[in-house]
Amino acid sequence: MEEKELVRLSQEGNEEAFASLVKKYKIKIFNLAWSLTRDRETADDMAQEVFIKAYFALSRFQFKSEFGTWLYRITVNHVKDYLRKMGRMNKMLIESKKESLLFLEDNTVRKENKYAEEHKRKIVHQAIQTLPEKYHVILSLRDIQGLPYGEISKILKISPGTVDSRLHRARKILREKLVPFLSQEGGNHEM
């Protein structure tokens, strides 16, 4: 059944149709919430709350955008509200230099490389969390979720040009935050 028909049926109170929409989007909504909060349990709770909000707001959905875009917008707004309440929006989470220099006891190159990659990913995600909200959200939508500019534009209600300039600025700020860390570790790292 086509998505628009599922939405229409859901608006008429058909619970099976809404369950189909939830099934289609539950992983995407969880992943978006997780990329913004970096906490699996919180993301799971938020995804459920988003679907509850969406269910009660279905009557206001007017098919001016795709259902998925509308659902992403609800998710972004819900997570932003949560993070503001928790006071976590601009906290610095990067580990100290001492912690970043920990080495695995296992001497195999494969395990060391795996650890280094995981560690680098963690540092990057922590640095993303410290960015101003408008940059954090746009990086999560584009670079983590892989959404196209047009959809991000609709979700955030900004022009595609603004998406492009914010994304460029966010990446530049992120590079600036990561350069000191990477130079402490030594070597030439690509970002």
In this predicted structure, what is the pLDDT of residue 113? 58
In this predicted structure, what is the pLDDT of residue 55? 93
Chain center to CA of 122: 14
Segment (H or E) for 119 = helix 109-130
In this predicted structure, what is the pLDDT of residue 191? 45
In this predicted structure, what is the pLDDT of residue 127? 82
In this predicted structure, what is the pLDDT of residue 188? 47
Same fold, 3-86 and 97-185: no
Question: Which residues, at least 6 apart from 36, have a Cβ–Cβ distance to it below 8 Å?
Answer: 43, 76, 79, 80, 83, 136, 137, 140
In this predicted structure, what is the pLDDT of residue 86? 75
b vs e for 172-181, b when ≥16 Cβ sit within 10 Å of the residue's Cβ?
ebbeebbeeb
In this predicted structure, what is the pLDDT of residue 48? 95
- DSSP-derived secondary structure for 42-62: HHHHHHHHHHHHHHHHGGG--
In this predicted structure, what is the pLDDT of residue 114? 63
Q: What is the CATH T-level fold of the domain 3-86, as seen in this structure?
A: Rna Polymerase Sigma Factor; Chain: A (1.10.1740)
Residue stretches of the chain with pLDDT short of 50: 88-109, 186-191
> Which of these, 35, 81, 27, 34, lies nearest to 51 by C-alpha position?
27
> So where are the chain's domains?
3-86, 97-185
Classify domain 97-185 by CATH architecture.
Orthogonal Bundle (1.10)
In this predicted structure, what is the pLDDT of residue 166? 93
How far is 91 from 87, CA to CA, in rounded Å?
Answer: 8
- Cβ atoms of 67 and 61 within 8 Å: the answer is yes
- Read off the tokens for 157: 């209600």
